[in-house]
Structure 1
Amino acid sequence: MSTTQNSHQDETLKRLGAPYTGYRLFLALGLLAILLVSLNDLLIGGRHPQAYLALSITYVLICAVNFLTFRYKPIHLQRQLFIYLIIDFIHLSCILYLSTGPNIAIVLLFMMLVLAAVMLLPANLAMIITLLSVIAVVYQQFFYSIFGPDNVAFIGTSSLITLVFIGTYGIARIGISRLNFAESVATTQRSAIFQLQQINQNIIEQLDTGFMVLDQQGIIISINLSAERLLQLSTEMLLRTKDLKHIDQELFDELRAQKSRAFKGSFTYKTENGELLNIHYRPIVTHQQTQQLTLFTIESMDKINQQVQRLKLASLGQLSASIAHEIRNPLSAISQANELLEEDLDEDLKSLTAMIDKQCKRINRTIEDTLNMSRQNQTVPEQIELYPWLRSFIREDLMDVQKHLRLTIEDKTQLHFDPHQLRLVLINLIRNAVRHGHQHVPNSRIDIKAYHVGDATFIDIIDQGAGVNNAQLQNLFEPFHSTSVNGTGLGLYLSKTFCEANHAHLNYVPQTQGACFRIECARMED
């Protein structure tokens, strides 16, 4: 038998045996009380009152000890119960011997003994108790029929008592079998439900989305680890109390205020450390609703924005394939036709073919930028040691403008970023800085600074140009928005998209002179 089955059997025996040990003690005290009250007119034990008194006192003491033992030393429960039933059988047999004649009350007590045996013991042990009870009662009938006037009725009475006891055993056994089957089914279902709850809880704990269930009073019914982390709820406090009002009064007031405005909906909540959360709430409807529960789904706005950016990358990736097919082929034909046309035109008209060639190259560059984005839409972040990486990057990709770059890097500055996407972002930002800076101050330097503050790593690209005015700032990172007549408007948009796909931020930082674009990324731990 498995450990689980043994444990379940012990629980059942403890649940059923406790009332029976209480019944035995109550019966023993009752019999003793009846004996003391009616010493002159004993219904049972009248042949030897003194012996019956001693038997009753002894039985009370034994039942009291058994009651305490079963309650406080619940080991080998089936063996204990079998011993108790044997003691009860001996006690009732002694009462039969000490009584003045056949007694229906004692027969009923034997029947209770049979019922208890069927409930508490296996079938073979219960049958032993039943047969012993039959023998004891039939022997009593046989003994008194020899010396009494009704000895002729002995056979009929004994047969009837035997049938009653065996019938009681059989009916009780059928009933107990059905109860055991029902309990087994209930236990199996309860175990399956518990297992399913554990599986669901494990799945929920693995999700980045936070889930929290509150009742009408603001008591936390259920909460997963992500919700604790996002809402910054103290685990120690949650162990002490489930009342959200005592854990975080401000959050409790905000949730209650939002629920009072609408039956269900969503809102933005700002935590103490400034993180924005999107919280969606809706009531939980069950078939047997005993109280109104509300489910809160909590997500980080940064996470949502990253998902949006990934969707944008995927959409633009599909768009790039369409652009390559639908635009590049006719564009090549236009470019070739323009080259052929240029050979037959006079010098005065070649400015028109030059204009066509310039615009074809601009369109082709837009296609290239979009295709580059499509090729890099799978983000694979790595730990990058910025000092050697940036120096190598500048030598390989920015050799033509290297003399205009000034690199300042703090020691042991690291970044967690996809190196290919970081390369594309920096190429775009640095070449933009060179172009705009040199337009304003020819041959001016571009400062590239890498440093860390707290748990964040920063890369600043600073030029000496005219900066970005307020009108341009609003749409600075929008796709196909460019401040240059030769720009495609995709560079800054793709750079910001790549940063957000790597859990980083690209921002414009106003300067007294020039422009500064800053990459901010969570710092890698050693």
Structure 2
Amino acid sequence: MQTLPAGNYLATVDAPFVRMWRGFLTGRLMVALALLVLQGAGQIINQVADPTVLALCVAYLVATVALRVLARQGPPSPGAGPQWLPSIGIDLAAITALQLLHAGTMNFTPLFGLPILMAAVLGTLTLALGTTAGVTLLLLGWAWWMGARTGDDDAQRYLQSALTGTGYFIVSYLVHQLATRLAREQEVAQQSQIAARVQTQVSALVIQNLTDGVLVVDENDVVRVANPAGLQLLASGALPDLPLTLQSASPWKPLLILARRTFRHELPQTADVDLLHPGQSPTGLHVRTWLTSTREAAREAHTERLCVMFLHDLREMEARLRTEKLAAMGRMSAAVAHEIRNPLAAIVQANALLEEDLHDPAQKRLAHMVQQNADRLARIAEEVLDIARVQHQISHAPASTLQLDETIAQIWHDWQAQDPVQRRAVVMLDTQATQVEFDGEHLRRVLVNLLDNALRYMGPEPDSLCVATRTTPAGQVSLQVWSDGAPMDKSVERHLFEPFFSSESRSSGLGLYICRELCQRHGASISYQRLNRTTLRGETGGNAFTVGFRRTTRPADAATLFDTIVV
């Protein structure tokens, strides 16, 4: 049966065998109590005092009560040994003593079945057969002793003892086999429970972190399970509480129709639907459904059918497709940019020469327009080619350190001086003389890019833009550029740092991507959050880009200007 070492057995024994052990202890206690009552009543009725037998019954009852109270954890280790003396050993001794000391015709030998069953169920086969062999020897010894006392023919007693012992051997073997099978089934059941529990935890974790929505709907149109993404797609405001019914809100009617169609046809369904929330733009969803089982299979397994719905935000799918297209176009644009720079330079030069001979204001205005658009084309070509340049700088840039607040102050002063009226901000530099590992020109490129983005979307208030540095108690140094612009669409936020992705048609979509590449080169990180900030207008929501630096204790080096990126 069980083969656990004695030291670890009590901590790992199966619960069913613990219950059996306690059941046997309770049975022993009841037997001891019954023996004491019967012996006491018999001696009172027959008016024959036998204090030895009565004392033996009391001692047996005390021993059974003591073991029942003390043995709270579990049965002893199953192997044969002295650990069974307080239970099996005392039972054999007490029953044998009662059989020898009792003067009447009462036969106590059937009580030997209790220790035999205990050994067969809770012990090894060796313990079970050994206990049965001991009982058989006691029965044969009893037959011999009775024959010696009476002088009668004891062949019948020997035969009866042998038959009883044989029966005990058969019972102990069969009971032990049943107990062994129970132990195996219990072990398999425990392993299955552990596997099912792990699988449930993994499935719940995967579903909770899926970006696509997942709904589990029953045949009564009740949503039993939903992950946060699914609830977000269903909600027009606060997330609804589970369980909820698809009939409770009219915008969910397309999902209700699709779920019912899935149950009716018992086939997977696919459809594009729109959830129309009052006062909001439609939420386009690509929905796929599956049934957990057919009606016949559910009836046979005594389970219910459930419809699993996967909700994909069409805006996200379109944004991903647009990103892939822009990335492909970007690769092509890089090749085209090389080819257009030379003819573009010729156009600029020819326009400059032509402008020298022009005197008519209208013609000069046209020449100026040509110059502006040529400059714009040149700037776009340079931005497209910046990717290759940045990659070259990243792979060849040596490590350097700088004093963060001093560098940020200088970059801010240079950027703000270009347009003091429009470029206003709250500047809070709180890292004092903290040094970070970053190249000075790279940091200038990152900060100027973030400031240009903020300037494009910020409001007109003096505190609409904030540049701040800080050091956390854990020593993390960061730079944050915050502006009170409108919230970003989720589909835009997910792709902020991807190349050639932009929410504006006139942008190349390379600025934030280059910022991320430069930050990663120096062991820093850049992230976006929607944060509230206390301004003169009160709590104001805004867009915050945060750069987390890798702090250094090395002395500051002179910034090395190498391969300067053309802006």
TM-score interval for Structure 1 and Structure 2 normalised by the shorter chain:
0.5 to 0.7
What residue is the counterpart of 2:466 in the other structure?
Answer: 450
Equivalent residue for 1:20?
A: 24
From the two aligned structures, give the one with the greater helix fraction: 1
| Superposed counterparts of 1:360-371, under 5 Å | 362-370=376-384
How many angstroms apart in 1 are the aligned matches of 2:139 and 2:510?
Answer: 98
- Are 2:10 and 2:75, in contact at CA under 8 Å, matched by a contact in 1? no
Matches within 5 A, 1:88-103: 88-99=91-102
| CA deviation after TM superposition for structure 1 residue 136, in Å | 1.4
| Structure 2 unaligned blocks of 5 or more | 219-223, 233-237, 260-272, 278-284, 395-401, 473-478, 486-501, 517-525, 533-541, 552-567
Residue 161 (structure 1) aligns with: 164
Q: CA deviation at 1:82?
A: 3.4
Q: Distance in 1 between matches of 2:50 and 2:37?
A: 13
Are the aligned partners of 2:217 and 2:306 in contact in 1 as well (CA < 8 Å)? yes
**Partner Cα separation in structure 2 for residue 167 and residue 362 of structure 1:** 100
Say whether 1:392 aligns with 2:392.
no
Q: Which residue of 1 aligns with 2:85?
A: 82
Change (3 A) 1:448 1:16: closer
Distance 1:95 1:268 in 2: 88
Number of the residue aligned with 1:324 = 334
- In the alignment, the residues of structure 2 paired with residue 158 and residue 255 of structure 1 have an alpha-carbon distance, to the nearest angstrom, of 69
Which one is further off, 132-141 or 418-427? 418-427
Q: Report the TM-score, using the length of structure 1 for normalisation.
A: 0.57
Q: Residue by residue, what CA displacement relative to the aligned partner does 1:427-449 show, whole Å, maximum 9, x if unpaired?
A: 5666x89xxx9xxxxxxxx9995
State how far apart, in whole Å, the 1-side matches of 2:33 and 2:484 are: 94
Q: 2-side partners of 1:353 and 1:4: how far apart?
A: 93
The 8 Å contact of residues 13 and 74 in structure 2, kept in 1 or not, is answered as: no
CA contact (8 A) 1:313 1:497 kept: no
CA deviation string 1:59-116 (max 9, x = no partner): 2333223222224x7696776653121111111112221346886x633321232111
The one of 412, 422, 428 aligned to 1:411: 428
Take 1:334 and 1:449, find their aligned partners in 2: how far apart are those partners?
41
Q: CA deviation at 1:389?
A: 3.8
Q: Match for 1:450: what amino acid?
A: C
Answer whether contact 2:351 2:370 (CA < 8 A) is retained: no
Q: TM-score, normalised on structure 2?
A: 0.53
Q: Relative to 1, partners in 2 of residues 1:151 and 1:403: Cα closer, same or farther, differing over 3 Å?
A: closer
Which amino acid in the other structure matches residue 67 of structure 2? N
SS at match of 1:162: helix
> What secondary structure, in the 3-state scheme, does the structure 2 residue paired with 1:479 have?
coil
Report deviation, 1:343.
13
Separation of aligned partners in 1, 2:247 and 2:390? 43
1:179 aligns with 2:182: yes
Aligned mates of 2:507, 2:48 — CA distance in 1 = 113
Residue 320 of structure 1 deviates from its aligned partner by 1.2
Which residue identity is paired with 2:93?
I
Q: Give 1:179 deviation, angstroms.
A: 2.8
Contact 1:387 1:411 in 2 (8 A): no
Q: Is the 8 A contact 2:291 2:307 kept in 1?
A: yes
Query: Is contact 2:430-2:468 (8 Å) kept?
Result: yes
Compared CA separation, residues 362 and 152, structure 1 to 2 (3 A):
closer
SS at match of 1:321: helix
1:502 to 2:527 alignment: yes
**Inter-partner Cα distance in structure 2 for 1:210 and 1:19:** 53
CA distance in 2, matches of 1:111, 1:57: 21
1:396-435: CA deviations, max 9, x gaps?
7788x37878765443368x999544432435666x89xx
Deviation string for 1:466-497 (max 9, x for gaps)?
xxxxxxxxxxx8422xxxxxxxx217x77799
Q: How many residues align?
A: 430
SS of the residue corresponding to residue 502 of structure 1 reads strand
Native 8 Å contact 1:213 1:296 kept in 2: yes
Matched, 1:63 2:97: no
Cα RMSD (Å)? 6.5
Aligned partners of 2:147 and 2:348: how far apart in 1?
Answer: 135
Which among 465, 490, 495 is matched to residue 507 of structure 2?
A: 490
Q: Deviations over 1:336-384 (max 9, x none)?
A: 8869999999979x9999987875654443344455579889xx9xxx9
Residues 197, 375 of structure 1: alpha-carbon distance in 2 compared, 3 angstrom cutoff: farther
Mapped to 1, the partners of 2:370 and 2:136 lie a distance apart of 117
% same residue:
16
Q: Deviations over 1:114-144 (max 9, x none)?
A: 1112222344444442222112111122223
**CA offsets, 1:174-202, max 9 Å, x none?**
3333333333333444455556667778x
Give the letter for the 1:59 counterpart: Y
Which of 104, 118, 121 pairs up with 2:120?
A: 118
Quote the Cα distance in structure 1 between the aligned partners of 2:546 and 2:338: 43
For residue 19 of structure 1, report the CA deviation from its aligned partner. 0.3
**Cα offset, 1:23, TM superposition:** 0.5
Indicate the structure whose relative CO is greater, using CA pairs within 8 Å and at least 6 residues apart: 2
SS of 1:503's partner is strand
Report which stretch shifted further, 124-133 or 257-266.
Answer: 257-266
Structure-1 separation of matches of 2:414 and 2:454 = 16
Give the aligned partner of residue 423 of structure 1. 448
User: How much does 1:3 deviate?
Assistant: 6.9
Out of 114, 133, 137, the position equivalent to 1:131 is: 133
Aligned amino acid, residue 27 of structure 1: V
How far is 1:520 from its partner?
3.5
Q: How does 1:472-491 map to 2 (within 5 A)?
A: 478-480=503-505, 489-490=506-507
Aligned: 1:9 with 2:18: no
Instruction: Using the TM superposition, give the Cα deviation of residue 27 of structure 1 relative to its aligned residue in structure 2, in angstroms.
Output: 1.5
Partner of 2:561: none
User: What displacement does 1:211 show?
Assistant: 11
Q: Distance in 2 between matches of 1:177 and 1:75?
A: 15
Distance of 1:390 and 1:178 partners within structure 2: 75
Contact 1:28/1:59, CA 8 A, preserved across alignment: yes
